[in-house]
Amino acid sequence: MTTDYHTALTTSGAATAEVINKPLQQLDDQLSDMDDGTHAWSAPVLNVAAVDGTTIGGTTPAAGTFSTLTVNNDLNFGSAMFAELRTPQAIGNTTTTLIDWNLERLDTDSVFDLSTNIGRWTPSVAGTYMLIAGITNNAGFTIGPGQLMIISLYENAGLVAQATTDSQGLYGETASIATLVDTPGNSYFEAKFYHSSGGTIVLDPAIGECYFGGFRVY
């Protein structure tokens, strides 16, 4: 069922708080189920100052006015990053190769390296992180049918997850991965690619074809 938030926000203050707090409580319950006792966080709390002519917290605004609703949220989702490969990169046969991500789309804490250790992301806040990565091989390069395409994620040079795809021998084939990683903070993450085509292929530098990203879940 879809909630009519406009109608809800122009009714009583109690109803307003209930409508908006319900999804926040659901989020709280989900995070409680996930929490293993090692993460410090508190549930979001809604502060309703006033809603169209209704007395809330001792305040009665003029009819036809609408005051700001704010959410006090102690959930600190921390660092987030998204980068792309925007120049062609050659990947040799049967060689696990670091992908040289060279364009930042998002880097909230300025901890994604584009110069010294290219393609390395080092979030400082401890917690659980969602990591994603994907590649597409460039037109003109195929990986033979049944040959391997492996995209891998690393933490401090140690493998944490990998996804293996059997090639169909087509142009523009893709491989992707997503995983959750617990980290103490100040670990660095990288993404690498391997194939067994028998020759060199080139990764596609078009927008959105090769990407690497992550964010703190809690």
122 vs 111: CA distance, rounded Å:
6
Domain region containing 93: 80-216
Show the low-confidence residues of the chain (pLDDT under 70): 1-78
Give the pLDDT confidence of 9-20 residue by residue, as tens digits: 333 344 444 444
Q: Are residues 99 and 202 in the same domain?
A: yes
> What is the C-alpha R_g of the chain?
23
What pLDDT is stored for residue 151 in this prediction? Answer: 96
Give the C-alpha distances (Å, rounded to integers) separating 201 from 28, 109, 184, 187, 208: 46, 33, 36, 30, 18
Q: Are residues 116 and 40 in the same domain?
A: no
How high is the mean pLDDT of the chain?
76
Residues in the chain: 218
Q: Are residues 54 and 89 in the same domain?
A: no
Q: Are residues 64 and 90 in the same domain?
A: no
Give the pLDDT confidence of 76-113 residue by residue, as tens digits: 556 899 999 999 999 999 999 999 999 999 999 999 99
Q: Are residues 60 and 121 in the same domain?
A: no
3-state secondary structure of 180: strand
What pLDDT is stored for residue 147 in this prediction? Answer: 87
Q: Virtual CA dihedral for 192, 143, 105, 180, nearest 10 degrees?
A: -50
What pLDDT is stored for residue 61 in this prediction? Answer: 55
Domain end, chosen from 16, 42, 72, is at 72
Domain end, chosen from 27, 44, 72, is at 72
Q: Are residues 160 and 129 in the same domain?
A: yes
Domain end, chosen from 50, 72, 94, is at 72
CATH code at 164?
2.60.120.40
44 vs 1: CA distance, rounded Å:
23
Query: Number of folded domains in the chain?
Result: 2
pTM equals 0.64
What pLDDT is stored for residue 24 in this prediction? Answer: 52
